[in-house]
Structure 1
Amino acid sequence: MPFALALTVLFAILTLLQLALILGAPLGAFAWGGQHRVLPARLRIGSAVSILLYGLIVVIAWDRVGAIDVFAPLFSEVAMWVIFAYFVLGIGMNAISRSKPERYAMAPMSAALAALSFLIAMGYGELAMAI
């Protein structure tokens, strides 16, 4: 469970960032390629969708470690591997961003999310629960 908890905390931080972006905070350099200081409406909608996806990923992670029972075990296991692959891709995408804040903040965030997703996908969260 500590990996799912750490993943949840990181997503809470990202949710706060996305909420700030939705509300018009001048933090656009940290997201969506860093091309906008304040996000346009279409990217604010994207930020709202991101928050929903964060919630889904957190539910899948907690399901995978066995803390909740929402999905079939095979679904949550496969989904965590897909999530891991997504964050590995995110490391590269954030690392090549033209925005320095996005490169320096979000590439490490993606790396941390990838590492946690890997550990959860491997079932290490389940081992922690069994102890």
Structure 2
Amino acid sequence: MIISIIGSILFSIVLVLYILMALRLPYGEYAMGGKYKVLPKKERIISLLSVIIQTFAILILLQCGGLISFGVSDKIANVFCYFFAVYLSLNILMNLLSKSKKEFFYMTPLSFVIAICYWLTALNVEF
């Protein structure tokens, strides 16, 4: 349960970052390869779509952690929890390959901890 709370809080930080980027604030160096300081229109739309997916991912983590239930069966939620664990694990690799120092140094460890939270929650590991 505590792991899913930690993961949700940390993923919420990423979600807020993506909202700020979609609002044209200069945080683009922290995501999407760090190519733009302020995201162009196409990337802002992608950022907003990411916010929807991230919100869903947070809800999945909270349900798998036994904190909420939002209409998805526990079995399906667990499948999604594994999916997001794999996705975030791949995201770590992408962050490691980023040309942006900010994405590399800040987002890589953040993605790592969030991915661990998803793996532990999906595997039902309690602390």
The answer to whether the superposition gives a TM-score over 0.5 is yes
Taking every aligned residue pair, what percent have the same amino acid on both sides?
Answer: 29
Number of aligned residue pairs: 126
Instruction: Point out where structure 1 has 5 or more consecutive residues left out of the alignment.
Output: none
Instruction: Point out where structure 2 has 5 or more consecutive residues left out of the alignment.
Output: none
SS, match of residue 71 in structure 1: coil
- State the partner residue of 1:90: 91
- State the partner residue of 2:112: 111
- State the partner residue of 2:56: 56
Note the C-alpha offset of 1:95: 0.3
The more displaced of 112-121 and 70-79 is: 70-79
The more displaced of 33-42 and 68-77 is: 68-77
Name the amino acid aligned to 1:33. G
- State the partner residue of 2:77: 76
CA RMSD of aligned residues (A): 1.3
Give TM-score scaled by structure 1 length: 0.89
Name the amino acid aligned to 2:115. A
Structure showing greater radius of gyration is 1
Note the C-alpha offset of 1:81: 0.9
The more displaced of 20-29 and 81-90 is: 20-29
Deviations 1:37-61 (A, max 9, x none): 1100011111111111111011111
Name the amino acid aligned to 1:121. A
- State the partner residue of 1:10: 10
For 1:82 and 1:30, the matched residues in 2 are separated by: 23
Asked if 1:45 corresponds to 2:45, the answer is: yes
Note the C-alpha offset of 1:18: 1.2
For 2:7 and 2:123, the matched residues in 1 are separated by: 15
Moved over 3 A (4+): none
SS, match of residue 66 in structure 2: coil
